[in-house]
Structure 1
C-alpha cells in the first residue's frame, strides 16, 4: 500500500519540517507528500473549491481518500490502525490523506472520501496537523506490526 499526504500550503524549513521528516523516514510504506497552493485572491467558497481540485489532482488515480476535517470521526489510534489495515488487507493500492486550507474542505470533496477523520474539536495549525497525521500513520504501522511503540 502506498500513502500520499496531499496538503494545502508548504512546510518550510524549521522544527515542524524536521519532526515531519523524522516520522516520514520511519514509515515503511511508500510515502509521498504533495503540497499545493492557490495564491489568487478568491472568495472563501472559490478558494475551497480550487484547493479541493488541487488536492484531488495531487492524489494517485483511484486512491482511497481520507479527508482530515473537524466534522469527521474521531478514532483512537487502535481503531485507525484497524481501518488502515483493513484497506491494506483488501488490496487497496493507494491511500491518500487530504489536509485542506484554512476554510477546510467543501462538501463535494468530503462526499468522495471513504473516511472523514478528525483529531478532535480543537483547532490545530495545518502544518501541525501534518505532524499529528504522520505520527499516527507511523503508530498505525507499528500497531499493525505488533511493535511495542504504541504502548510505550
Structure 2
C-alpha cells in the first residue's frame, strides 16, 4: 500500500521535524510513503498529482472517527484487504484544510479528543502508522 501525507504548512520545530523524519524512515520498511508539505490551496491543487483510482482519502478532523491503536491497525488492514492501493491523509495547519481538499475525503479520522498543534498531530499520525504497520507485519513495537 502506498501512503501519501498531504500536509498544509511546514513542520518548523526542529525537534518535531526530527521525529517526523525518523518515523518516515521507519515506515518505509513496510510501505512506500510520500510526504508533501504545501503552502496554499490553489498551488496545492495544481501541484498535487492525482491519486490512483483506488485511493482512499482520509481527512484528519476533530469530528472524525477515533480508534485505539489496535483498531487503527485493523482498519488499515481492512482497507488493504479491500484493494485500496493508495491511502492519502490530509493534515491541516492552523487555518485548517482547504474545501477543495476536504471534499475528496472518504473518511474522517480524529487522533484525539484533545486539540493538538498541527505539527504535533503529524508526528502522532506517523507514529500510529508505524505502530500499525509493525503490528500487521508481526513485529513487536520497539520501545
* 1:83 maps onto 2:85 in alignment: no
**Where in structure 1 are there 5+ consecutive unaligned residues?**
39-49
Q: What's the offset of the Cα at 1:104?
A: 2.5
Question: What residue is the counterpart of 1:35 in the other structure?
Answer: 37
Q: What's the offset of the Cα at 1:33?
A: 0.3
Deviations 1:114-152 (A, max 9, x none): 2201112211111111100000000110121122218x6
Q: Work out which of the two has the higher radius of gyration on C-alpha atoms and give 1 or 2.
A: 1
CA distance in 2, matches of 1:130, 1:58: 21
CA distance in 2, matches of 1:58, 1:76: 31
* 1:6 maps onto 2:34 in alignment: no
State TM-score, norm by structure 2. Answer: 0.84
Distance 1:101 1:13, change over 3 A: closer
| Contact 1:99/1:126 (<8 A) preserved | yes
Question: What residue is the counterpart of 1:47 in the other structure?
Answer: none
Question: What residue is the counterpart of 1:92 in the other structure?
Answer: 84
2:94 aligned counterpart, secondary structure: coil
Runs (4 or more) in structure 1 with deviation over 6 Å come to: none
Question: What residue is the counterpart of 1:130 in the other structure?
Answer: 122
* 1:69 maps onto 2:61 in alignment: yes
Deviations 1:43-95 (A, max 9, x none): xxxxxxx37x6399355243210010011111111111111111112221110
**Where in structure 2 are there 5+ consecutive unaligned residues?**
none
| Contact 1:36/1:54 (<8 A) preserved | no
